[in-house]
Structure 1
Amino acid sequence: MKLKLFLICLLTQFVSMQAQTSAPNNFINPGSISGKIVDKKTSEPIPYATITIKDAGKVISGAISKENGTFTVGNLELKNLTIEVQFMGYKTYQGNFNLSSENKSVALKTIALEEEATMLEGVSVVRDRSTIEQKIDRKVVNVGKDLVASGTNASEILNNVPTVSIDPQTKELSLRGNSNVRVLIDGKPSNVDAAQLLQQIPSASIKQIELITNPSAKYNPEGMSGIINIILHKNANIGFNGSINTGVTFGKTPKTNSSVNLNYKVGKVNFYTNYGFNHGRNANHGYVNSSNPGLENLQNFEFNNLNNSHLVKFGVDYYINDKNTFSVYTNQSINHTGGTGKTIIDYSGLGNNDSSQYFRNRNKNNSQTYDAAFKHNFDKKDEVLDVEVNYSKTKNSEDTHYDDSSTESNGSLASDFDTRNVIKGVTDYTQINIDYTNPLTEKTKLELGAETRIQTTKNNFNSHKDGTQFSAPYDLVENADNRFSFNRNISAVYANYGTEWSSKWSTQLGIRMEYYDISGDFDKSETKFKSDETPQNTSSNESDRVTDKIFTFYPSAFVTYTLNEKNSFNFNYSRRVDRPSIGQISPIREWSTPLIESKGNPELKPQFTNSFEVNYTRNMKVGSVTTGVFYRRINDEISRVIFNDPNDPSNNRKILSFDNFNDNNAYGVEASANLKFTKWWSANASADAYFKTVRGTIQNATTNALENAEIDVTSFNARMNNTFTATSKLKFQLFGMYRGRDLSLQFERKAMYKADVGLTYSVLKGKGTVTTRLNDIFDTMHFAFDGNIPYRQYGAFYWESQTFYVGFNYVFGGGKNRALQRKQRDANETQSGGGLL
Structure 2
Amino acid sequence: MKLKLIIINFLCFLSIGFAQDMGSIKGRIIDKKTNQSLPYVNIIIKNNDKIITGGVTAEDGNFAINKLAPQKYVVEIQFMGYSTLVRNIDLTATHNQDLGTIAILEDVSELKDVEVVAERSNMVQKIDRKVINVGKDLIASGTTASEIMNNIPTVSIDPQTKEISMRGNSNVRVLVDGKPSNVSIEQLLQQIPSASIKQIELITNPSAKYNPEGMSGIINIILHKNSQEGFNGSLNTGVTFGITPKTNSALNLNYRVGKVNFYSNYGFNHGINANNGFVDSERTNLENRQDFNFRNKNNSHLLKLGMDYYIDDRNTISAYTNQSFAYGDGTGTTTVIFDDPVLNRNTNQFFGSTGGNKNQTYDVVYKHDFEKKDENIEFQVNYSHTENDENTFYDETIFNPTASFERRNIVKGTTDYFQFNADYVNPLSESTKLELGIETRIQNSNNKLNDDNPNFTSANNAFEFGRNIYSAYANMGKQIGKWSGQLGVRLEYFDLDADFTVNETNPSYTANQKITDDLFTVYPSAFVTYTANDKNSFNFNYSRRIDRPSIGQASPIREWTTPLLESRGNPELTPQFTNSFEVNYTRTTKLGAITSGIFYRRISDEISRVVFNDPNNPNRNILSYDNFDSNDAFGIETSGNLKFSKWWSVNASADMYFRTVKGTVQNANTNALENAETDVTTFNVRVNNSFTATKNLRFQLFGMYRGKDRTLQFDRKEMYRIDFGTTYNILQGKGTITLRFNDMFETMRFAFDGNIPYRQSGAFYWESQTVYVGFNYMFGGGKNRALARKQRDANETQSGGGMF
Could you tell me the TM-score, scaled by structure 1's length? 0.88
Letter in 1 for 2:168: G
Residue 830 of structure 1 is matched in structure 2 by none
Equivalent residue number for residue 599 of structure 2: 630
Aligned to 2:241: 250
1:401 counterpart = 2:380: no
2:318 equivalent among 327, 343, 350:
327
SS in 2 for 1:478: coil
Which residue in 1 is equivalent to 2:377? Answer: 385
In 1, Cα distance between the equivalents of 2:286 and 2:509?
Answer: 30
Partner in structure 2 of residue 533 of structure 1: none
Q: How does 1:170-209 map to 2 (within 5 A)?
A: 170-209=161-200
**Cα pair 1:43 1:112 within 8 Å, conserved:** no
Query: What does residue 302 of structure 2 align with?
Result: 311
Measured in 2, the distance between the counterparts of 1:44 and 1:747 equals: 70
* Structure 2 match to 1:491: 470
Structure 2 counterpart SS, 1:672: strand
Deviations 1:75-111 (A, max 9, x none): 5566654422234576643323356998845143424
Q: Tell me if structure 1 keeps the 8 A contact 2:585–2:595.
A: yes
Give the alignment of 1:117-516 within 5 angstroms: 121=112, 124-349=115-340, 350-408=342-400, 412-413=401-402, 415-466=403-454, 476-502=455-481, 504-516=482-494
Task: Find out whether 1:605 has 2:549 as its counterpart.
Answer: no
CA separation of 1:86/1:375 partners in 2, compared to 1, >3 Å: closer, same or farther?
A: same
CA distance in 2, matches of 1:442, 1:104: 48
Query: What pairs up with 1:715-726 in 2 under 5 angstroms?
Result: 715-726=682-693
- The answer (yes or no) to whether the contact 1:622–1:676 under 8 Å persists in 2 is yes
Amino acid at match of 1:674: N
Shift, 1:644, TM fit: 0.3
Looking at structure 1, the residues matched to 215 and 685 of structure 2 have their Cα atoms a distance apart, in angstroms, of 23
Distance 2:771 2:559 in 1: 33
Map of 1:97 onto structure 2: 89
**2:495 counterpart letter in structure 1:** D
Match runs of 1:405-804 below 5 Å = 405-408=397-400, 412-413=401-402, 415-466=403-454, 476-502=455-481, 504-528=482-506, 541-648=510-617, 651-804=618-771
**TM alignment of 1:107-122, pairs within 5 A:** 107-112=99-104, 115=107, 121=112
Aligned-pair identity in percent equals 62
Kindly provide the amino acid, as one letter, of the partner of residue 493 in structure 1: A
Kept in 1, the 8 Å contact 2:21–2:95? The answer is: no
The separation in 1 between residues aligned to 2:58 and 2:637, in whole angstroms, is: 51
Aligned match of 2:4: none
Deviations 1:117-175 (A, max 9, x none): x6574863443322223221112222223222222322112122211111111111111
Q: 1:13 aligns to what?
A: none
* Contact kept? 2:497, 2:517, Cα under 8 Å: yes
CA deviation profile, 1:393-429 (whole Å, cap 9, x unmatched) = 1100100000011001xxx41x211100000011011
Structure-2 residue corresponding to 1:473? none
2:778 corresponds to 1:811? yes
Deviation at residue 33 of structure 1 after TM alignment: 3.2
Task: Give, as a single letter, the amino acid of the residue that structure 2 aligns with 1:508.
Answer: Q
Separation in 2, partners of 1:197, 1:702:
41
| TM-score normalised to structure 2 length | 0.92
Shift of the 335–824 alpha-carbon distance from structure 1 to 2, 3 Å rule, reads closer
> 1:388: Cα distance to partner?
0.7
Paired AA for residue 433 in structure 1: N
Measure the CA separation in 1 of the matches of 2:21 and 2:567.
69
Please tell me the residue identity of whatever aligns with 2:513: D
Native 8 Å contact 1:296 1:348 kept in 2: yes
Q: Cα deviations across residues 2-55 of structure 1 (Å, max 9, x unaligned)?
A: xxxxxxxxxxxxxxxxxxxxx99x979985433344566887766543212246
Give yes or no for contact 1:509–1:556 (8 Å, CA) kept in 2: yes
Larger RCO (CA within 8 A; separation ≥ 6): 2
> Could you list the runs of 4 or more consecutive aligned residues of structure 1 that deviate by over 6 angstroms after TM superposition?
26-30, 39-45, 100-103, 818-826
CA distance in 2, matches of 1:741, 1:107: 72
Q: Give yes or no for contact 1:150–1:773 (8 Å, CA) kept in 2.
A: yes
For 2:426 and 2:701, the matched residues in 1 are separated by: 47
Please report how far the alpha carbon of residue 820 of structure 1 lies from its aligned counterpart in structure 2 after TM superposition.
14
SS at match of 2:504: strand
Q: In structure 1, how many angstroms separate the alpha carbons of the residues matched to 2:351 and 2:421?
A: 45
- Quote the offset at 1:266 in angstroms: 1.7
1:199 counterpart SS class: helix
User: In 2, Cα distance between the equivalents of 1:496 and 1:702?
Assistant: 54
How far residue 322 of structure 1 moved from its aligned partner, in angstroms, is 0.9
Q: SS where residue 732 of structure 2 aligns?
A: helix
Q: Distance in 2 between matches of 1:542 and 1:127?
A: 58
Kept in 2: contact 1:244–1:260 (CA 8 A)? yes
Distance in 2 separating the partners of 1:280 and 1:452: 39
> Number of residues paired by the alignment?
776
Matches within 5 A, 1:27-106: 32-37=24-29, 48-54=40-46, 59-66=51-58, 70-76=62-68, 81-87=73-79, 92-97=84-89, 104=96, 106=98
Paired with 2:529 and 2:409, the residues of 1 have a C-alpha distance of 55
Structure 2 residue runs without a partner (length 5+): 1-14, 784-788, 799-804
What letter matches 1:421 in structure 2?
N
Q: Deviations over 1:453-477 (max 9, x none)?
A: 10000000110112xxxxxxxxx35
Give the secondary structure class of the aligned counterpart of 2:552: helix
Does structure 2 conserve the Cα–Cα contact (< 8 Å) formed by 1:125 and 1:811?
no
The more displaced of 187-196 and 671-680 is: 187-196
Cα–Cα, structure 1 residues 42 and 737, in superposed 2: closer, same or farther, change >3 Å?
farther
For 1:566 and 1:89, locate their aligned partners in 2 and report how far apart those are by CA, in whole Å.
37
Amino acid at match of 1:513: L
Paired with 1:66 and 1:136, the residues of 2 have a C-alpha distance of 48
| 2:534 partner letter | E
Partner of 1:19: none
What is the alpha-carbon distance in structure 2 between the residues aligned to residue 374 and residue 226 of structure 1?
28
- C-alpha change, 1:66 and 1:736, in structure 2 (3 Å) is farther
1:390/1:431 contact within 8 Å kept = yes
The CA deviation string for residues 726-777 of structure 1, in whole angstroms up to 9 with x for no partner, is: 1101111111110101000011101000000010000001100000000000
CA distance in 1, matches of 2:72, 2:205: 57
C-alpha RMSD of the superposition? 2.7
Q: How many Å separate the matches in 2 of 1:312 and 1:516?
A: 33
2:232 touches 2:792 (CA, 8 Å); kept in 1? no
CA–CA distance in structure 2, aligned partners of residues 636 and 388 of structure 1? 34
Contact 1:203–1:257 at 8 Å: present in 2 too? no
Contact 1:139 1:212 in 2 (8 A): yes
Deviations 1:638-685 (A, max 9, x none): 11110000111xx22000111111111001111111111111111111
Question: Quick one: distance in 1 between partners of 2:612 and 2:19?
Answer: 78
